[in-house]
Amino acid sequence: MVSALRLYAEQTFVEQAQHYAAVLGMRGVSVEIELIEKLGSRFLRLNPELALCVDQDGLWLAANGMKMQPDWKGESGRLKRASLKSEMIARACNIAEKPRLIDATAGLGHDSLLMAHLGAHVTLVERHPILFTLLEDTQQRALDDKILHAAAARIRLVFSDSADYLAQQASLVQVVDVVYLDPMFPQRDQNQNAAKKQAQVKKQMQLLHMLLPEDGEMDLGDHLLPLAQKIAKRVVVKRPRLAVFLAGQSTEHQWLGDACRFDAYFQHDLNT
Ligand SMILES: C[S@@+](CC[C@H](N)C(=O)[O-])C[C@H]1O[C@@H](n2cnc3c(N)ncnc32)[C@H](O)[C@@H]1O
């Protein structure tokens, strides 16, 4: 159970706030609604602790004077420019084949939005109740957006731990084309360069990190790789460029970018 969080809203948005509080309550997050006069940047600066807030743009996570939600609208420019050739993630996940793809570490859903935009049929799995609720809200708004609608409609959200979800798919003898994994980053001492990149994480990622456990207890997702390999013809893992392999498993093929790389694992026996 995640401990009680404040949810700030102006009087105009009280119904929406009650709706989110109920949804989060069902997902094990207890939320205390606090009505305020004006939810502006001054208020957020004066209330720097981790909280949620609601306004005309839906549900937000707030802390340290900033607020954050998955920024699918902000990705529109990238989506317009994106092509199967120009996007390394699209080549690594073979999006040209319009695969059935499970993204087992959803986060803000930005990678999957891009892959869905380029034609993948995505099942997006997230276990964190607040992140999942933010994603659900973002997808609803994206469905009403001209540019984002088609991609958002190709994404199905699942609230689950991926270890359970992948094991369940294996027990149903389900095979998918791709499982995509982008777990939290390796420990800082594993790689100096990766640590430097980590220090530069964007505002959004800073807030995301506040929701997740401290580095010491961070779940690096090693156990997801063998589970994914049971059901996916191709597993693609996103890593900082010089980071160690997920689960220590070396890869058959790599796509290398400036800041990150994609490691691919092929299960040839699932290809029939
Ligand atoms: C680095 S973020 C992924 C960022 C994402 N690729 C994007 O484009 O926004 C990792 C996310 O995976 C989630 N995650 C990690 N392990 C998971 C698991 N076993 N089941 C479900 N979600 C998991 C974390 O809660 C976190 O939100």
For 100-115, the pLDDT digits (tens) are 999 999 999 999 999 9
- Ligand 1 pocket test, candidate residues 115, 124, 126, most atoms within 8 A of CB: 126
Q: Find all residues with CB under 8 Å of 24, minimum gap 6, and list them.
A: 30, 31, 52, 129, 130, 133
Q: Find all residues with CB under 8 Å of 191, minimum gap 6, and list them.
A: 240, 242, 243, 244
pLDDT of residue 216 exceeding 80, the answer is no
Tell me what pLDDT residue 188 has: 46
Ligand 1 geometric centre to CA of 38 (Å):
33
Tell me what pLDDT residue 213 has: 66
Please give the mean pLDDT across all residues of the chain. 90
pLDDT of residue 91 exceeding 70, the answer is yes
- Determine whether 3 is exposed, middle or buried from the number of CB atoms within 10 Å of its CB (0-12, 13-18, 19+): exposed
Tell me what pLDDT residue 201 has: 52
Per-residue confidence band for 33, with pLDDT thresholds at 50, 70 and 90 = very high
Q: List all residues whose CB is within 6 A of at least one atom of ligand 1.
A: 105, 107-111, 125-128, 131, 161-163, 182-184, 212, 219, 221, 224
In angstroms, the CA 240 to CA 75 distance is 21
Per-residue confidence band for 202, with pLDDT thresholds at 50, 70 and 90 = low
pLDDT of residue 156 exceeding 90, the answer is yes
Question: Of ligand 1's atoms, which has the minimum distance to the CA of residue 105?
Answer: 12
pLDDT, tens digit, for every residue of 254-264?
999 998 999 99
Locus of tokens 């991609």? 151
In angstroms, the CA 218 to CA 216 distance is 6
pLDDT of residue 199 exceeding 50, the answer is no
Ligand 1 geometric centre to CA of 18 (Å):
27
Residue range(s) of every CATH 3.40.120 domain in the chain: 2-68
In angstroms, the CA 260 to CA 86 distance is 15
pLDDT of residue 45 exceeding 70, the answer is yes
Nearest Cα neighbor of 31 from 109, 118, 133 is 133
Nearest Cα neighbor of 230 from 104, 110, 97, 94 is 104
Tell me what pLDDT residue 196 has: 47
CATH topology of domain 2-68: Alpha-D-Glucose-1,6-Bisphosphate; Chain A, domain 3 (3.40.120)
pLDDT, tens digit, for every residue of 117-140?
999 999 999 999 999 999 999 999
Ligand 1 geometric centre to CA of 113 (Å):
14
pLDDT, tens digit, for every residue of 12-25?
999 999 999 999 99
Q: Are strands 100-103 and 66-68 parallel, antiparallel or unpaired?
A: unpaired
Residue range(s) of every CATH 3.40.50.150 domain in the chain: 73-270
List Cα–Cα distances, 131 to 159, 197, 204, 217, 238, in angstroms: 10, 23, 12, 19, 20
Ligand 1 geometric centre to CA of 212 (Å):
10
Ligand 1 geometric centre to CA of 106 (Å):
5
Q: Calculate mean pLDDT across residues 200-226.
A: 75
CATH code linked to domain 73-270: 3.40.50.150
